[in-house]
Amino acid sequence: MEETKEIKKDKKEEQKEETLAESVWDLLKTFMVCMILVSLFVNFVARPIRVQGSSMYPTLTSNALGFANVYGKKFGSLKRFDIAIIYLKDKKEYLVKRVIGLPGETVQYSNGTLQVNGKTIEEPFLDTPYRKNWGDGFMEDVSPVTLGEGEYFCLGDNRPSSRDSRYYGAFTDDQIIAKGAFIFYPFSEFGVKSW
């Protein structure tokens, strides 16, 4: 009788061990699947972003949180005035800027006015009252820059406080990893910005 009790006890312990091992294995499988899904999402659909600094003010404020459209960049094309998420590999730094000039175009600023291939282009996204506060200091003149294949001229919306193509030069297609932004925090900025 005692042997039967011990055998039952051993079987129960084995079952507990098997159940624990199965639970751990299930947890590991779930974790691995989640990691693969997150990796696919971040590399092919949308990448989480956090805006740092005021270079895109007032369109995007510092510490805004959201997602950038990776899919739209990988399988679409960049257009003038898209918001671009740029990764500078050598500096391990991310930038959020606006596409101003496209490949093959000649871009210049004269008296604070954008000219592309000699034609004046309006920039309706710039905040007029904020811009007026700066007067002539908002955007300095930029000598003509002719962009090569796969090159983009990108600027921050807050021109006096932005390090952009005026500092780094043209950004290449492979440096731009996503476009647009869906901001979910702060709630006052909730929504799509140039998706």
As annotated, the active-site residues are 55, 97
Amino acid letter, 48: P
In angstroms, how far apart are the furthest CA atoms of the chain? Answer: 101
Question: Would you call 54 helix, strand, or coil by DSSP?
Answer: coil
Percent helix, strand, coil in the chain (nearest 5)? 35, 30, 30
Q: Which residue in 137, 97, 99 sits closest to 121, CA to CA?
A: 99
Strand partners, 119: 116
